[in-house]
Structure 1
Amino acid sequence: MLRLVPRSLLGRMLFLTLLVVLVAQALSSVIWLSQLRASQMEGLLTSSRSLAQSMAASVSYIRSLPLGYRPMVLDQLRSMGGTRFFVSLNDKPLEMRVMPETPRKRAVMDEVEAVLRERLGKQVDLSLHFVSPDDLRIFNSGLKLDELPRSWAHYALTLEPVNPPVLVTQIQIGPSEWLYLASLLPEPYASLEDQGQPTQQLWFILLTSSFLLLFIGLLVHWQSRPLKRLATAAREMSLGAEVEPLPEAGGSEVVEVSRAFNSMRERISRYLSERSQLFSAISHDLRTPITRLRLRVELLDDEALQAKFSRDLDELELLVKGALQCVKDTDIHENIEQVDLNHLLYGLIEPYLATGQVTLEGKAIASYPGKPLALRRCIGNLVDNALKYGERAHLHVEDNTEAFVLHVDDEGPGVPEQRLEQVFEPHFRLAGQQQGYGLGLGIARNLAHSHGGELSLRNLREGGLRVTLWLPRVAG
């Protein structure tokens, strides 16, 4: 379910808006539809009672006629047309295929039967069924509706083009004498079928949802543009590019964020400038006295003392060079360019391909926006470190639209689990006899961080160490 939720602010706002609109419209539609159906049912029962009252009156009238007059009166009524029912006399109930019951049909039949028994007597023998016009039979002979003159029955029993079900009521009014009444319920209750959600209501939900989504989409897009500019500026600043101050526009919260970012940008730029000046001064100020001390040591007559001083000065110079190199390697002032990572990787490993010390699998799918020299130094440190401690380096590239991932595996002894993070610290070396400042992995991680990426270590099950460089292709 969480995978269906969009990641962008615009997508999430539209998703939540659509969800809320659909829930609200569904609840209101359920309430409205239940009220509508209750109102329709009340009107249907009222119409059924009225119809039953007319039936009872017709039955009472026919009963009051002498037996010989009944067929003649019915013939006159059929010839005149315009009656609410089609009425006939039969010597037995007619058999017809009835329609399946629905809640509305059952309610109509119950209501009509209750009124008829109340008006005609509880013991009256009657039957009520709904019949399709195609299956309707009129007389004992089994005549269909279409076989009768239109003036006889079509006026009362057809409602083209709907052709709704016909309520057939057969009541025994004497021995071998059944009064047959066929009738339709008036509009809008003629069809007697439960209506689903009305088409107008569905169109209303669709149109209101579309307008709301369009309005929310435009609003969020308008408000999120400053945030996108902020994300772009933050990424460029993390890569060391010169970033212009952000325009303080949008909502009050966005204005506050932009103002805070501009203030942070100024402080960071000032700090970086001061740091560069500071280390330039340190480099100049430290190298001069060290050189002067070396000249004075050479004037000493005591060779043993001279050797001790020289050793101390070598150690001091090593520490100074290491500190300055750490700053120099991680503070690379370059412009951001589209870097061909495949070309960069091949240039680094080409000297080792002939000897088989380095292998490469996979390739980058596209160029990467970054600092060419910094990326070369970062990946070069990883390869050099693998060759130094593991003799061989196996590179595996995994690249997609979200991130470029480089795994560098070696065949060395690995790193103890408790020291996997410690090896990134400056001047830390597992092998004390190895030459160098112990800065390679730390510098590589700092360069990865400057591109918004990460560097991680883990020991391989089959032996050796895996260093993984992760560089994002989208601003995070």
Structure 2
Amino acid sequence: MLSELRRRLPVPRSLLGRMLLLTLLAVLIAQALSSVIWLSQLRATQLEGLVTSARSLAHSMTASVSYLRSLPLAYRPLVLDQLRSMGGTRFVVTLNDKPLDMRLLPATPRKAAVLEAVHEVLRQALGNEVDISVQFVSPDDLRIFNGGLKLDELPRSWAHYALTLEPVNPPVLVTQIQMAPGEWLYIASLLPEPYTSLEEEGLPSQQVWFIVLTSGFLLLFIGLLVHWQSRPLKRLARAARDMSLGDAQVRPVAEGGGSEVVEVGRALNAMRERISRYLTERSQLFSAISHDLRTPITRLRLRVELLEDEQLQYKFGRDLDELEMLVKGALQCVKDTDIHENIEPVDLNHALDCLIEPYLPPNGNGRVTLDGRALAAFPGKPLALRRCMGNLIDNALKYGDKAHLRVEDDEVAFVLHVDDEGPGVPEQRLEQVFEPHFRLSGQQQGYGLGLGIARNIAHSHGGEVSLQNLREGGLRVTLYLPRNAD
């Protein structure tokens, strides 16, 4: 499942991008969990306060009911009229001859908790034998008095100040209690602040801004930290790439950063010294071998010339020629693959133009064609790259008579296809032809080192040389040089 998610989502390749992405995910998950816990606790606290306020409101209702019960029946309407004339009270209280029928609001957990608390307090104070109706009604559906008047049809001083809270217009708690046969006490009221609306609020805007700001500061801090720690890694990568290309001017890597990065830098410096010493010793060794072998080979040739038997002289000469060819081939292989050059931007277009110029018309009779151009310079060894591409072109002309070059270049890699018109290579021999001194037939000229040297140079630049037989005949040699080999 994780691999499928990684395939679908774009994952950054850099260390900085991945650290920021992981930090962002961790912050979002942590903030989401903490916000959920905090919001659940906040809502539990609000619900507890809401129930307490509802109980207090219910006790006020029972006090009003007790006061009205203490009045004579004829005084009750007069007292209510006086209260309305004075501007009303916390409640809108009327006496009706029947309970009013109104459309109820949909039930929610908070509404149910309020209704249950109010009903419980009223039952405890008034007894179970009294008919009690407690419900929430929208201000638009509220009815008052026996005639079922709407709230907008009443004087504002009678009910608007007690039952409206523009522009919110919260639900109205309507309680109807039977005082006597044919007499119902009607009490309409709003819940006190901050529980007027009864809606469960989402995450407050302050909390959202807190999450955004803390996440931003944390990402900025992590980004600066990773950038600071990744600079030594980038230096190590550049030094390793230069060393893989055989740059003679590779300096020791500056040891900096964390302790782990310092250890890697020390190991790379030690490896650089060992490799440099090895290359120097190898060069001296092959120079000594070249000097030591040429002298006895020359001496043997002089002695062979003194032989009177021509047939024996021919056999000895052939063996000496083969021995000298092997020595020269080995020395050429070492010389061609151990090119001490500095790494610099190489104009591959200019290099190809110089390589194919001798084969262009009229002198070359069009034996080489070139299609496509490199888009930018390639960082590498100029002479080594020229030798690599030259070997591929020479190999195509030697065994396929013609060479058709095609360049494909972008920001990822430089690719050179070299197609010839020869017989191709058997499939089972496609890798074997890269081995030193390998030939498909004994009549082939040369040392059999061209493709091997080209592949070694490509490997030193982080690239590859591959072979493919074409359907229409001939062999395709592909040189692949990545531009981001580090």
TM-score (normalizing by structure 2): 0.89
Match of 1:48 among 47, 54, 59: 54
Alignment of 1:450 onto 2:460: yes
Match of 1:106 among 107, 112, 132: 112
Q: Cα 1:125–1:410, aligned 2, differ >3 Å: closer, same or farther?
A: farther
Structure 1 segment 389-428 matched on structure 2, within 5 A: 389-428=399-438
Q: Could you tell which deviates more after superposition, 224-233 or 454-463? A: 454-463
Structure 1 segment 129-148 matched on structure 2, within 5 A: 129-146=135-152, 148=154
Which residue is 2:35 aligned to? 29
Q: Cα 1:125–1:342, aligned 2, differ >3 Å: closer, same or farther?
A: farther
Structure 1 segment 15-414 matched on structure 2, within 5 A: 15-81=21-87, 83-96=89-102, 98-122=104-128, 124-146=130-152, 148-241=154-247, 242-352=249-359, 357-414=367-424
Q: Cα 1:92–1:282, aligned 2, differ >3 Å: closer, same or farther?
A: same
Confirm or deny: 8 A CA contact 2:461 2:485 kept in the other structure: no
Structure 1 SS opposite 2:94: strand
Q: Cα 1:346–1:255, aligned 2, differ >3 Å: closer, same or farther?
A: same
Q: In structure 1, how many angstroms separate the alpha carbons of the residues matched to 2:321 and 2:294?
A: 12
Q: Any unmatched runs of 5+ in structure 2?
A: none
Confirm or deny: 8 A CA contact 2:85 2:158 kept in the other structure: yes
Which residue is 2:440 aligned to? 430
Query: Given residue 42 of structure 1, which amino acid in structure 2 is its aligned partner?
Result: E
**Aligned-pair distance for 1:84?**
2.2
Q: In structure 1, how many angstroms separate the alpha carbons of the residues matched to 2:471 and 2:67?
A: 102
Q: Cα 1:466–1:94, aligned 2, differ >3 Å: closer, same or farther?
A: farther
Q: Cα 1:455–1:61, aligned 2, differ >3 Å: closer, same or farther?
A: same
Confirm or deny: 8 A CA contact 1:231 1:475 kept in the other structure: no
Query: Given residue 53 of structure 2, which amino acid in structure 1 is its aligned partner?
Result: S
Q: In structure 1, how many angstroms separate the alpha carbons of the residues matched to 2:472 and 2:79?
A: 107
Q: Could you tell which deviates more after superposition, 69-78 or 318-327? A: 69-78
Structure 2 SS opposite 1:317: helix
Which residue is 2:478 aligned to? 468
C-alpha offsets along residues 389-429 of structure 1, whole Å, 9 cap, x if unaligned? 44444434332222222233445444444433322211112
Structure 1 SS opposite 2:447: coil
**Aligned-pair distance for 1:251?**
1.0
Q: In structure 2, how many angstroms separate the alpha carbons of the residues matched to 1:463 and 1:129?
A: 91
Confirm or deny: 8 A CA contact 1:232 1:475 kept in the other structure: no
Q: In structure 1, how many angstroms separate the alpha carbons of the residues matched to 2:359 and 2:123?
A: 106
Confirm or deny: 8 A CA contact 2:88 2:159 kept in the other structure: no
Q: Cα 1:118–1:392, aligned 2, differ >3 Å: closer, same or farther?
A: farther
Q: Cα 1:448–1:149, aligned 2, differ >3 Å: closer, same or farther?
A: same
**Aligned-pair distance for 1:133?**
3.5
Structure 1 SS opposite 2:178: strand
Q: Identity of paired residues, percent? A: 81
Structure 2 SS opposite 1:4: coil
RMSD: 2.5
Q: In structure 2, how many angstroms separate the alpha carbons of the residues matched to 1:441 and 1:53?
A: 100
**Aligned-pair distance for 1:15?**
1.2
**Aligned-pair distance for 1:146?**
4.8
TM-score (normalizing by structure 1): 0.91
Confirm or deny: 8 A CA contact 2:92 2:188 kept in the other structure: yes
Query: Given residue 35 of structure 1, which amino acid in structure 2 is its aligned partner?
Result: Q
Q: Cα 1:262–1:84, aligned 2, differ >3 Å: closer, same or farther?
A: same
Q: In structure 2, how many angstroms separate the alpha carbons of the residues matched to 1:103 and 1:266?
A: 76
Q: Cα 1:390–1:125, aligned 2, differ >3 Å: closer, same or farther?
A: farther
Q: Could you tell which deviates more after superposition, 350-359 or 421-430? A: 350-359
**Aligned-pair distance for 1:244?**
1.2
Structure 1 SS opposite 2:165: coil
Structure 2 SS opposite 1:307: helix
Q: Any unmatched runs of 5+ in structure 1?
A: none
Match of 1:8 among 3, 14, 23: 14
C-alpha offsets along residues 69-90 of structure 1, whole Å, 9 cap, x if unaligned? 1111112222344632111123
Confirm or deny: 8 A CA contact 1:126 1:172 kept in the other structure: yes
